[in-house]
Amino acid sequence: MDSTHFLASNARIVLAGRVIENGWLAVVDGVIAEVGEGSAPESGYDFQGDTIIPGLIELHTDHLEPHFNPRPEVFWSPTAAVLAYDSQIAASGITTVFDSLRIGDDVEADAPKKKSFSNQVFELADALKVTREADLTRAEHLLHLRCEICAWNVVDDAEAFLAKHPVNLISLMDHTPGQRQFRDIEKLLIYWRRKLSRPDSELLKIMDKRVELHAIRAEPHRRRLVELAQQHGVVLASHDDATSDHVTEAIGDGVAIAEFPTTVEAATASHAAGIHVLMGAPNVVRGGSHSGNVAATDLAERGVLDILSSDYIPASLIMAAFSLPDVVPSIDLAGAIRTVTLNPALSTGLTDRGEILAGKRADLVRVRIAEGHPVVRAVWRQGRRVV
């Protein structure tokens, strides 16, 4: 099974539009050569009735950063962090991952910290380059630059990063209190109490400062970042859109993906405008948003959910995709799998993958449903077994 040629037989195969209950699939030179129903034309690798789906495509995971910075002020070797993270990604059935790296320090930090978010990003991007060039990773790693638009250093760092590394996706984030993800100040306060462990008086001061700086920085920084994305031909994503004004702005900026819209209004308007609506897979698995915003399944029922992302739990992607048809009966298995394969591929211009079809990359996952869980049994990237 180490070669990039193989024949899989006795498999349930999830195509983009339907499911073949018993079929076979031939891979030649890392590409899907043929897919058929019933018995295979010659003896092949017996999948024992397991399901084959396309390799998952993950657009927004922040899971690399905690591998590198597992505790406050503790930094792991960036290359070791990339390799450990990559193993977890691939074992979750993901064959293409947009590593989401945040640039832009918190607005209340007036001077660079010892190792700011941006320092981390450059170290991690260098490590990703090394592992990519030496062909050490199981999944294919692309880059998603998450830009916190009100940060003092976001524009300079985005410029420096784009000059040094290829970037495949840029998202424009604005976590100013009182809007978008944090419209509900009380909920933000509860979240910050846990995360920052500071007295409320200090947290309220930080909130005030963020609101003040938003008024000065949000607009010019956003304009410059959009310009940079256009100059470098990078796909743009909006983040936490909540109102129709946010969506109008996103349309004007040429946004292709709306990450985590927080309201039905914003999601519906984005989808209608041809912007792919991305929601968190943990939101599907947990049955709601951890920030108290709109539920992904609510958007799925309305037919406006296009893409799922594992966000902070890589294994949630496959879990959510397989559970979606049970929670939302109007979505069949092929449609659910599209949210984690073909749709993210199309939204980012990856036309060579994302579905089981002759001529596409043999990025494949063998899945067995056991105890109600989709268990990843094997993963191939371009026909090469990586898990």
List contacts with Fe ion (CB under 5 A): 181, 240
**Cα distance between residue 294 and residue 302, in whole Å:** 12
* C-beta closer to Fe ion: residue 168 or 262: 262
Distance CA 46, CA 360 (A): 22
Residue 255 vs 356, nearer CB to Fe ion: 255
Rounded least distance, CB 62 to Fe ion, Å: 10
The residue behind tokens 């030649």 is: 28
Following DSSP, what letter does each residue of 213-280 receive, concatenated? HHHHHHHHHHHHHHHHHHHHT-EEEEES--SHHHHHHHHHTT--EEES-SSHHHHHHHHHTTPEEEEE
What's the closest the beta carbon of residue 207 comes to Fe ion, in angstroms?
A: 16
How far is it, in rounded angstroms, from Cα 189 to Cα 172? 23
| Choice between 99 and 240, CB closer to Fe ion | 240
Decide whether 137 or 171 has the Cβ nearer to Fe ion: 171
Query: Residue 372 and residue 207: Cα distance in Å, rounded?
Result: 44
CB 240 → Fe ion: shortest distance, Å? 4
- Scan for tokens 């990856």, then name that residue: 350
- Residues 362, 27: contact at Cβ < 8 Å? yes
Judged by CB, which is closer to Fe ion: 261, or 354?
261
Return the residue nearest Fe ion (CB atom). 181
Report the 10 Å Cβ neighbour count for 195.
9
Name the residue nearer to Fe ion (CB basis): 12 or 146: 146
CB of 281 to Fe ion, least distance (A): 15
Are 173 and 149 a contacting pair, CB within 8 Å?
yes
- The distance of closest approach from Cβ of residue 107 to Fe ion in the complex, given in angstroms and rounded to an integer, is 15
Please, what is the minimum distance in Å from the beta carbon of residue 279 to Fe ion? 12
Strand partners, 277: 258
